[in-house]
């Protein structure tokens, strides 16, 4: 049984009780994914599974056999940061940085949902093929990702700027 993490294959644990979060952090040595609440309430542990954002603290590693997991380590590197990582720095989107990997993974998954026309609670046009990421949409769609430092304004600025630039290209 194996799983693909950041483009490399790894054996899954024998113990079916191991969460995906603990597997990534403690077995694969990928500490970028953070443990905040460990009960699905904060978003710090968000990773991408086949491009969809998931809470890795609520996921069992063995359930992801054959799937592709992307963590913050797979999105950008110090030498080649992801555009969102650059924007978080430019927009003061963090203080301690603990929530930041989850915020960025969540934003990547969130933007893909909007591109597919997945509505949120504040979407008014339910027929649209692609949802435009207004600030209300961003606040609603990122509301599961808490920042204990209160950097939410900078976080929304960074995400808005990144995807506005992408839309303009």
Q: Which residues bind ligand FES (CB under 6 A)?
A: 35-38, 40-45, 55, 57, 94-100, 147-149, 151
3-state secondary structure of 10: strand
Question: Does the CA dihedral 83-81-31-91 come out positive or negative?
Answer: negative
Closest separation between CB of residue 168 and ligand FES, Å?
28
Closest separation between CB of residue 62 and ligand FES, Å?
18
3-state secondary structure of 68: strand
Closest separation between CB of residue 143 and ligand FES, Å?
13
3-state secondary structure of 147: coil
Closest separation between CB of residue 10 and ligand FES, Å?
21
Here the tokens at position 150 are 């209160």
Question: Does the CA dihedral 164-157-30-38 come out positive or negative?
Answer: negative
């Amino acid at each position: 049984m194996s799983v693909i993490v950041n483009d490399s294959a790894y054996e899954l644990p024998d113990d079916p009780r191991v969460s995906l979060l603990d597997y990534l952090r403690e077995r694969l040595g990928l500490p970028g994914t953070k443990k905040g609440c460990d009960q699905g309430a904060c978003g710090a542990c968000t990773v991408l599974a086949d491009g969809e954002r998931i809470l890795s603290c609520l996921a069992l590693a063995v359930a992801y056999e054959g799937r592709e997991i992307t963590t913050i380590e797979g999105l950008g590197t110090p030498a080649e940061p992801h555009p969102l990582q650059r924007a978080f720095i430019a927009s003061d989107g963090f203080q301690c940085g603990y929530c930041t990997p989850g915020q960025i993974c969540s934003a990547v998954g969130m933007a893909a949902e909007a591109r597919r026309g997945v509505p949120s609670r504040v979407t008014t046009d339910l027929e649209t093929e692609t949802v435009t990421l207004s600030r209300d949409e961003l606040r609603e769609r990122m509301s599961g990702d808490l920042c204990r430092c209160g950097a939410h304004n900078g976080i929304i600025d960074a995400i808005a700027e990144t995807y506005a630039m992408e839309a303009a290209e």
